[in-house]
Structure 1
Amino acid sequence: MANALKEVYEKTAEYEAFYTGGDIQWTTDGGHFLCQCDDVIKVIDVNTFCNILTIGDTLEERDGSDQIYTFKLSHDNQTVITAHKSGLIKLWDKETGKQVKVWRSGHKGAVAKLAFDSSDGNVASGGTDGNIRLWDITHYTCTSSLRGALGVFTVLKYHPDSSKQLVFGAADDTKIRSWDSKTGKDNLIYSGHFSKVTSLQFTSDSEYMISSGRDRVLILWKLGESKALRVIPVYESIETIILMPPSFKVPNFKKKLETEGIYVACAGEKGVVKIWNVLMSRLMFEQSNSLVSPATEEGGLAVTHLLYNEARNMLSVSTADHNIIIHDLETFTCVKQMIGFTDEILDIIFVGKDESHIIVATNSRDLKHYELGSMNCKLIKGHTDIVLALANFPTKPNVFVSSGKDNSVRIWVHDEQNEIKCFGVGVRHTGSVGSVFTSQTSNSFFASVSQDNCLKLWTVPVDQENNDQKMKSSHTELAHNMDINCVAISPNDKIIATGSQDKTAKLWTEDLSLLGILKGHRRGIWCVRFSSVDQVVLTSSADCTLKLWSIADLSCLKTFEGHESSVLKIEFLSKGQQIISSGADGLLKLWNIKNSECKMSLDNHDGKVWSLAVNKSESLIITGGSDSKLVTLKDVSMERRETLAKEREDLILQEQELVNLLHDKKLVKALKLALRMERPLHVLKIVNEVLKYGKDKLSETLKEINNTQKETLLRFATEWNTNNKNCHAAQFVFYILAPEIISGSLQVPSLASLVEGSLPYTERHFERLTNLLQDLNFISYTVNCMQPHAVKSVE
């Protein structure tokens, strides 16, 4: 219906952060990841991306002060151990998420690393004080304190062969130390690294170990010998290594018998997985299709963890951007991408003919391409700094534009295979490009605005097959004297609007001649939009208001007030009859333009709602903000109207049935129906009708109703008891139901409040009746006293 206004949007899905950095572990069966997320550990299903369990203190117990510093999952996947800011170590059941035990670590500082031994019966905790404490978790006792290291532990491991009884640790002094886990005595010191040791792995034959560090080398050690066997320069800071299984396949790599060796996969600064044969000091494989951007500064991090899962023969890469990328080891293709934490969501658009996908710009140089049904994600590379804005072409929904802090605009095409490639780049701006908007009637041009105070029009390249073609700017105008926050193009492509921090919005012609200035906001303008049906422009501002302007005479027609902070994003709905707005107060509001009424206010976000995407049919809205949440909202106005109509119809039928039952004197059925319909006056009428036949009849009648109905009746009786006229019926109900409550056969959860509400009125009624009885007795006595005198006078 064209004139049917939206009434309510309902949240149907929420996709929030599950990994905010720190430790991450993969269960042995490959089905779940355990990820550190703020003050808890979330267990994530690899197939559905659902958070199936949260391990950590409940929301009530959590105050943000007892942060989890590190955690470890036992080898049998049954137990999780966590170390906290408060100095506590907690043991949790991984299946139920319940806390099993808690004890003090005894370290002078925080615990930086934890490790289980191969039997899962002992745990080592390495602190920031340079000490390791060994714990017997069967009896929860400290068995040893291992000293000698200096600084914070970066690596802590038990040797996998329990017969060796060795614990290895490396701290800030860059030496790898080993201790006897039974006696607690020093065993051997392995010196070779000149910078922080980041990872340590042991070969399956228990003969060798391999270490990596920030000093850009891998070192092969023979256990029991303090001198390095091999030092392999890898020309990048390495954060994580894993030992490859004895037999494995990766593309373009065949192991020869004469080159059998120890194969180690490593990753770090460059964001690329490399496999080295450390016995031969040879690079055997280098990933060519990495989705991880290299670190922006030398010595920085791109990859933080590599995890290998034998059950699935898959390798997962955890990145500094909190993404988890799973590769099939044989083909090294990306199987899945999981976005653990998107940071701030800055913009969202729908793409594709059926709008089955969305593109999301987050606080990252990579765009995120989600499939809406499964929330499966792909990273899109191209920009060299944070992407700030997105816009798609209404006439060609598979083509869209992006802009970013790298001062560039890019145009992309989304093909039939759901692959996305960039076919045009524009680099004429000299500041961050904060907003883009596309032509509404063609796919030949788009507009961009920047911190350089310029408005530019760009011509879209005709050839979509060539990658990264240079785009030309057809028009440029110095539009404002402060940062320009937003741009919009009218539905007929004839007018362009810009909004700036200078508190004004300006209207421009196709060749960027100034048409007029909209003045009236008291703060900078965040968003501007044209109506699809009327000659009006809508603006939203940091002064917490929305304003509707006439294009003809540039006057302000209406001001909408209701947000408590900056209004960041606005869109017209219902053919220009309604507005949806999102603000820095975390609220989403739906407005009717005709009467300036706010129809709906939703509070789904904990911070600024930067982005708001509405699909063509307006049945779906997706919002994103500074809290890293993507919230999907569905228009349920029609369903709500149908439900209300059905409820109204049912009510009319029930009322008719009640009238019929009362007419036919079917009082028990009438009482049940009136209680179900929550009609206290009808119930009172029925109770009074029954009382005409005596209180025994009422007692019989009340036996026919169930406990839920009796509870409702008690509630009604408490209401009637407040009125002198109706207290008679109320007191009879109390009198009949009291024995059932006392015996316990009738459980009333709200009994205390009902009694509290009834007692004062009951006492007042009792006092009134007592006074009435006294008066009646006095009249009777007076009458009786007067009777003999009357008889005498007659004689």
Structure 2
Amino acid sequence: MDYKTEYISTDIDPFYIGSNASCMSHDGSILVTANEEDVVVTNLHTQEILHTIEGDGETITNLNITPDGSKISIISQSQQLRIFDISQGVIVKNFKLSSPVYVSSNEQTSTLFAFGGTDGIITVWDIEGGYVTHSLKGHGSTISSISFNGDLGDKNWKLASGDTSGTVKVWDLVKRKCVHTFNEHTSAVRGTSFHGDHFISGGRDEIVVIYRNFKPIKTILVNQSIEVCKLLELPDSDDLGFYTAGSNNLFQLFDITGELITKTENYQTEEELIIIDVFETQYLNLVLSDQSIVTIDINDLATGQPAVIDRIAGNHGIIADVKYVGPQFNLLALATNSPSLRIIDPSNPLKLTICEGHRDILNTVDVSVDGKWIVTGSKDSEVRLWNYADGTFKTYAILKGHVGSVTAVALPRTPMDYPQFVVSAGSDLTIKKWKIPNPAKSDWPMTIKTSEYTRRAHEKDINSIDISPNDEFLATASYDKLGKIWDLHTGETIGVLKGHKRGLWDIKFNKYDKTVITCGGDKTIKSWSLLNYQMTENFESHTNSVQKVQYITRGQQIISAGADGLIKIWNNKAECLKTIDNHSNRIWSIDILNDGDKFVSCDANGQISLWHDNSESLLKAKEQQEIDRIENDQKLSNYINEKNYYNAFLLALELNYSMKLFHVINEIFNNDQSDQLVEILGKLNDEQKLKLFEKLQNWNINFKFFEVVQRVVNLILNNVGIEYLMTPKLIKIIENMLPYNERHLSRLEGLIESSYIVDYSVEQMGLTTDE
């Protein structure tokens, strides 16, 4: 049969990971992010990575971009400042700063950057000129905030700075001196802002201080540790207000008196998220500590809260489970090291949809056969059932009953209007079957606290469950090295799969045969008969734990993924047909679509690889190549028979037929057509000459072929001209040929000397006979 072995992938790689350094152009089109030690420049409108800027081996500590999106400042722990020109794609300036820098600001005309160092020095940098314009000294601790006010050279041209000890300073950039110092804060000042005659500062002491004409007039307690604060004109009003963002993953908007106008919803989870920065474009872009970006519109407060316009995930962290979902199965549901269910569209990979509900990290996800229902299990001990409605998934039911982390979930495998049951397993070592009420007769979201049955299933954590294609049986796989088959209706054990030497990670039913497969930490995959529960095949090739396994090609093939970062494709006779090495870390999850025509793989780095079967296209390409080869061989043979050496030479050279080209050249010499060869050599372009001399170099190694090589070189030197060879690449090839020439010459001289001895011997033999 025709196996599926040839897959090609499209990768969705993390572009914001490691350091929290990031910045965005004022029009919202360019996002610059730290990716470990490197920097990635992304066009958000086209979702294209414009540049990847290689790092200097140290962690990126700060990034900034000019408002016009033309230049980027990059600073690493090595204190090296690099200015990158986006249009040219090159570093245009390097400068060593006096200390590491974690905060910076830019001037609205894209003329200046300001950098705050850990030594308390503020460096103002002229972007076009490439030099320091100001070095402001006066702070006694690390600079923690900077902001500009006014235009270059304006009499109100000022800069405000705050440090980690709570001191705020205002600098006159024209006079190059500090004009105001405030000590209103008791901890790090993380935000300063100007607007007209108003000025504010906010810090991690949870207060905002409002100044007028640089005199403190009010102190406001905002009940959050502040990472960002800024003055602004309120929506649909000329009144002044300000916003704060920071701890509790909370954004708050106030009027100038400190009256709260609105705030984002504070979703309570075990995950301690904070807002670490805010980028102002047409909207406000909140940068979260999990390196995602949430775009909100404070101009639309129809619901009383800022409207969420968009979400971007810089990375997904460890992806523990993945499933194709949606009515067309064109979306991916991800269980990551986050409490929220993440939904992404691979055709629009930067866009992220968050389904909130769980309060702790997700472990597992499963999907119904129509793609409209998702079930998730979390460390919060809850199972949630989600329904697709209005373009997203919403909670339908919350299943409470496990007393530990939920480690595996499954939905029915037969088509239904809605999933009539859910099966779950947890670290409490039990499996539970839950009956789900009809949506048409129930209000939702609903909470279900009683399961249809609960069974103690294993002695250690249950890592996987699967339901048979006819919804009659249940399979479980556990760390206790056992797989078990259960009657789904009664919850009774009907078979035990013994044979693995370490804990099991996954188990799957075959839709087309009475078999089941398991995989585990012993680096093996095993196939089992459901007739007698005996092992039928043992698959060995992975070099580490096998994490996931699936049947494809109507049950005739198996695809597996492991902690070795490899994907392997097998036939059902335990023969490994293909090994795919595309991931650099442990692959936690895979899912298949259309019986293996497509599949997705996700690893511990958050890389998502989307695969589709290319076997048929490759087969057609190989068939066409074979047809072309036969036609070209015939054409070459015809040219030689017709003594059309010019076309024979060029065709053999073009097709890279090394020995056939040699025979064409040899044929030319044997037929005394050296003049034709000179003509051919004179018409070769640089690429053809290089290809020819590479072959001459290879032939020259062999004593049987070197004579032809020397005759070709002799023709070139005597009839084409030495300038023909005067290119660096050809000179290098000729230099490599010379040692072999000397060896061949030495061998010929030895043969000639030997021939003299033979002649002498023959002559002496003749003399002896005469006597």
- What TM-score does the superposition give when structure 2 sets the normalisation length? 0.90
Q: Is the CA contact 1:17–1:629 (under 8 Å) kept in the aligned structure 2?
A: no
What is the rounded CA distance, in whole Å, between the counterparts of 1:333 and 1:191 in structure 2? 36
What is the rounded CA distance, in whole Å, between the counterparts of 2:532 and 2:513 in structure 1? 14
The Cα offsets for residues 731-780 of structure 1, whole Å up to 9 and x where unpaired, read as 21232345769425574737646753x44543343234334445666778
CA-CA distance at 1:392 after TM superposition = 0.8
What is the rounded CA distance, in whole Å, between the counterparts of 1:125 and 1:697 in structure 2? 71
Q: Does 1:749 align with 2:729?
A: yes
Listed as ranges, the matches of 1:17-56 within 5 Å are: 17-18=15-16, 20=18, 22-56=20-54
Q: 1:753 to 1:476 in 2, by over 3 A?
A: farther
Q: Is the CA contact 2:105–2:146 (under 8 Å) kept in the aligned structure 1?
A: yes
What is the rounded CA distance, in whole Å, between the counterparts of 1:704 and 1:127 in structure 2? 64
Aligned to 1:392: 367
Q: 1:743 to 1:391 in 2, by over 3 A?
A: same
| More displaced 10-residue stretch of structure 1: 698-707 or 368-377 | 698-707
CA-CA distance at 1:602 after TM superposition = 2.0
Q: Is the CA contact 1:177–1:189 (under 8 Å) kept in the aligned structure 2?
A: yes
Aligned to 2:303: none
Q: Is the CA contact 2:653–2:661 (under 8 Å) kept in the aligned structure 1?
A: yes
The Cα offsets for residues 20-79 of structure 1, whole Å up to 9 and x where unpaired, read as 55233321222222223322332222223322223453xxxx43xx21111222344333
Q: Does 1:67 align with 2:59?
A: yes
Q: Does 1:325 align with 2:300?
A: no
CA-CA distance at 1:540 after TM superposition = 1.0
Secondary structure in 2 aligned to 1:473?
Answer: coil
- The root-mean-square deviation of aligned C-alpha atoms, in Å, is 3.0
What is the rounded CA distance, in whole Å, between the counterparts of 1:437 and 1:771 in structure 2? 82
| More displaced 10-residue stretch of structure 1: 375-384 or 89-98 | 89-98
The Cα offsets for residues 147-176 of structure 1, whole Å up to 9 and x where unpaired, read as 243x33221223335423533221222121
What is the rounded CA distance, in whole Å, between the counterparts of 2:331 and 2:412 in structure 1? 21
What is the rounded CA distance, in whole Å, between the counterparts of 2:64 and 2:45 in structure 1? 22
CA-CA distance at 1:262 after TM superposition = 1.2
Listed as ranges, the matches of 1:38-187 within 5 Å are: 38-57=36-55, 62-63=56-57, 66-107=58-99, 110-117=100-107, 123-134=113-124, 138=129, 140-141=131-132, 143-149=134-140, 151-161=141-151, 162-181=154-173, 185-187=177-179
What is the rounded CA distance, in whole Å, between the counterparts of 2:683 and 2:578 in structure 1? 44
Q: Does 1:305 align with 2:277?
A: yes
Aligned to 1:427: 400
Aligned to 1:252: none
Identity of aligned residues (%): 26
What is the rounded CA distance, in whole Å, between the counterparts of 1:136 and 1:783 in structure 2? 93
What is the rounded CA distance, in whole Å, between the counterparts of 1:175 and 1:665 in structure 2? 92
What is the rounded CA distance, in whole Å, between the counterparts of 1:139 and 1:10 in structure 2? 46
Q: Is the CA contact 2:376–2:384 (under 8 Å) kept in the aligned structure 1?
A: yes
Question: Which of the residues 494, 501, 507 maps onto 1:522?
Answer: 501
- Equivalent AA in structure 2 for residue 529 of structure 1: K
Question: Which of the residues 668, 671, 682 maps onto 1:703?
Answer: 682
What is the rounded CA distance, in whole Å, between the counterparts of 2:165 and 2:501 in structure 1? 58
CA-CA distance at 1:456 after TM superposition = 1.2
Aligned to 1:496: 474
Q: Does 1:450 align with 2:448?
A: no
CA-CA distance at 1:499 after TM superposition = 1.1
What is the rounded CA distance, in whole Å, between the counterparts of 2:139 and 2:255 in structure 1? 32
What is the rounded CA distance, in whole Å, between the counterparts of 1:530 and 1:555 in structure 2? 15
What is the rounded CA distance, in whole Å, between the counterparts of 1:507 and 1:328 in structure 2? 52
The Cα offsets for residues 554-588 of structure 1, whole Å up to 9 and x where unpaired, read as 22222222222111111111111111111112111
Q: Is the CA contact 1:304–1:318 (under 8 Å) kept in the aligned structure 2?
A: yes
Q: 1:699 to 1:393 in 2, by over 3 A?
A: same
- Equivalent AA in structure 1 for residue 232 of structure 2: M
Question: Which of the residues 554, 563, 567 maps onto 2:546?
Answer: 567
Question: Which runs of 5 or more structure 2 residues have no equivalent in the other structure?
Answer: 301-305
What is the rounded CA distance, in whole Å, between the counterparts of 1:221 and 1:737 in structure 2? 86
Question: Which of the residues 334, 351, 356 maps onto 1:381?
Answer: 356
| More displaced 10-residue stretch of structure 1: 425-434 or 441-450 | 441-450
Q: Is the CA contact 2:98–2:117 (under 8 Å) kept in the aligned structure 1?
A: no
| More displaced 10-residue stretch of structure 1: 71-80 or 523-532 | 71-80
What is the rounded CA distance, in whole Å, between the counterparts of 1:120 and 1:393 in structure 2? 53
What is the rounded CA distance, in whole Å, between the counterparts of 2:729 and 2:532 in structure 1? 65
Q: 1:751 to 1:363 in 2, by over 3 A?
A: farther
Secondary structure in 2 aligned to 1:336?
Answer: strand
CA-CA distance at 1:504 after TM superposition = 1.5
What is the rounded CA distance, in whole Å, between the counterparts of 1:283 and 1:82 in structure 2? 36
- Equivalent AA in structure 2 for residue 400 of structure 1: I
Q: Does 1:466 align with 2:443?
A: yes
Q: Is the CA contact 2:694–2:733 (under 8 Å) kept in the aligned structure 1?
A: no
Q: Does 1:733 align with 2:707?
A: no
Secondary structure in 2 aligned to 1:675?
Answer: helix
Q: Is the CA contact 2:320–2:336 (under 8 Å) kept in the aligned structure 1?
A: yes
The Cα offsets for residues 208-232 of structure 1, whole Å up to 9 and x where unpaired, read as 112222333322112332xx21222
Aligned to 1:244: 232
Aligned to 1:765: 744
Secondary structure in 1 aligned to 2:69?
Answer: coil
- What TM-score does the superposition give when structure 1 sets the normalisation length? 0.88
Q: Is the CA contact 2:155–2:174 (under 8 Å) kept in the aligned structure 1?
A: no
| Pairs aligned (count) | 753
- Equivalent AA in structure 2 for residue 304 of structure 1: I
